[in-house]
Structure 1
Amino acid sequence: MSFTVHVTPSGHQFSTEEGETILDAAERQGIVMPYGCRNGLCGSCAGTLEQGAVSYPGEEESDLAIGGENQCLTCKAVASSDITIHIKEVESTKEIEVRTLPSKVDEMEQLAHDVMRVYLKLLENQRLQFLAGQYLDFLMEDGRRRAFSIANAPHDDERIELHIRRVPGGEFTDYVFDTMKSGSIERIQAPLGGFYLREDSDRPLIMMAGGTGFAPLKGIIEHAFHIGIDRPIHLYWGVRAEQDLYLAELAEKWAAERENFQFTPVLSEPDEGWTGATGWVHEAVVADYPDMSAYDLYMSGPPPMVFAGKDAFLAVGLPEDNMYSDVFEWAKDNPNK
């Protein structure tokens, strides 16, 4: 049975499916509520139940961090009727706590000759709240930092997914490829950055990635799918050669399954027999969209791509306020992305 959740003071409302927690239902419908552990133990997700009733299936309420008679832990509570809950929603990155904490390397998978997918898990069943597209810093013992974008969407937060490209001569990325292993404990600070999907827009979306700039866009796209955004989305992914499209099959699957999604890979040094787009990825975007005045654009990758793209897109009418970017720095193994 489905119930309606009314949220104050925002005035938002959404529906829950049978057995679905309030937090899961909110995330599925694009409403961001605060949370911490997702286990009902920290109280970060608590709101005040103003009307209606909830239950905690399979849970002993005495084991949960319920602080008062009308307090509702949205990460565990399931609506038993239409309800009204008072809770402060997360409206920007400023409202999400940046945390410094240990994490465990849960799994590693080499996706390409120079790209490693690393999955992290927080200790003691904690969860990291973040917005799709944000990044984290690895904290090294000497005080230096290494930044990598989070590649998964917030609703899929049991683990943190990273795509780490090996930088020639890069101390940290050499460590990832040669020394890091499952079970390693790493200190991180997260979430960081202001690159995330602006959900209040109804403009079609163009997304442009360079190399592992695909990572944050993957998280944003999966989040958009999860919350039911039906705006057209066109992903361009620029790499040197076909082997660098390390998750092309995923983007192709999205395109095959969703009418509102298009995928255009672009090779700057095309392989023999390649019949797709070639050249610089921003030029491929402009060739397809000579008037960008009606679009939102998200781009992520190395500085030359981002800066060339910005100039080109402004020249064809894209409003600067509708352009969002995450600039990676591959050339140096330094604190910047």
Structure 2
Amino acid sequence: MTIECKVKSIEPLASNTFRILLHPETPVEFKAGQYLMVVMGEKDKRPFSIASSPCRHLGELELHIGAAEHNAYAIEVVEAMNHAYANNGSITIDAPHGTACLQEDRQESLLLIAGGTGFSYVRSILDHCISQNITNPIYLYWGAKDSSQLYAMQELNEIAIAHSNVHFIPVIEHLEDEWAGKIGNVLEAVDQDFATLENFDVYIAGRFEMAGAARQQFVDRKGAKKDRMFADAYAFI
């Protein structure tokens, strides 16, 4: 379904990463973990995870878009958003999309894995679980090149303190001064921390190669059930 949206706000989250709030002219019904398509042209629709959760988004849709210099695909979307915001214009979206959404009413522990701005996908799921008082153990692993890209660290640490079932594990590629989290690859961190993933529902957001490697690694080595692993990438690989 295509919907016109006003761009309510644009603000930086980290270097080349932006939080964008859209206000659709009609409410969008979606599930935690789904995504929308920004319509750039008749045959040009670009997917972005919805960072807000369906239970607490107040009619707004939140996006986290990483628009580094080499990423024209995302830069052009941010430019279109800025133009609409500055000129009181609108952006057309097509939503909702995606089958890798939260599987509710299950008792399994949840493992949420994100690389970079893939965090927006797991943020929606985590926020929905908290708002619905879901008490299943939740482990959120978020990997980035450096700590400056983990723009929601304080929020996630506060959530983990307030909710005993939530565990947040940040991972960066190289050691930094005063860094107390894990170092290296986010999938390697998961591999080191769990003897088995047999009783987990696993949700993954990141590059296609990351999602593919996770599925092979966790099914083969950790007993994860292939049909209990969820990622938008799995519809294409």
Q: With the length of structure 2 as denominator, give the TM-score of the two structures.
A: 0.91
Superposed displacement of residue 270, structure 1? 3.0
1:14-163 pair list within 5 angstroms: 99-123=1-25, 126-157=26-57, 158-163=59-64
Counterpart among 223, 228, 234 of residue 317 in structure 1 = 223
For structure 2, the 5+ residue unaligned runs are none
Q: Does 1:274 align with 2:179?
A: yes
Q: Which has the higher contact order (CA 8 A, sep 6+)?
A: 2
**Letter paired with 1:199:** E
Partner of residue 82, structure 1 = none
**Match of residue 185, structure 1, among 44, 68, 90:** 90
Structure 1 gap ranges (5+): 1-98, 329-335
- Matched-pair identity in %: 33
| Equivalent pairs, count | 229
Mapped contact 2:141–2:168 kept (Cα < 8 A): yes
Q: What amino acid sits opposite 1:321 in the alignment? A: D
Q: CA shift at 1:319, angstroms?
A: 1.1
Measured in 1, the distance between the counterparts of 2:157 and 2:213 equals 26
1:179-214 CA distance string (max 9 Å, x none): 533233111100001011111320111111111111
Kindly provide the CA deviation profile for residues 73-94 of structure 1, in whole angstroms up to 9, marking residues without a partner as x.
Answer: xxxxxxxxxxxxxxxxxxxxxx
Residue in 2 that maps onto 1:326: 232
Deviation at 1:226, TM superposition (A): 1.2
**1:143: Cα distance to partner?**
2.4
Give the TM-score of the pair, scaled to structure 1.
0.65
For the pair 1:170 / 2:71, whether they are aligned, the reply is: yes
AA aligned opposite 2:222: V
Greater Rg, structure 1 or structure 2?
1
Question: How far did 1:268 drift?
Answer: 1.3
Query: Structure 1: how far apart are the matches of 2:177 and 2:215?
Result: 30
Alignment RMSD: 1.8
Cα distance in 1, alignment partners of residues 168 and 33 from structure 2: 19
Q: Which runs of 4+ in 1 moved over 6 A?
A: none
User: Aligned letter for 2:19?
Assistant: R
Q: CA deviation at 1:250?
A: 1.3
Q: Which amino acid aligns with 2:169?
A: T
CA distance in 1, matches of 2:94, 2:79: 23
Q: CA deviation at 1:153?
A: 0.6
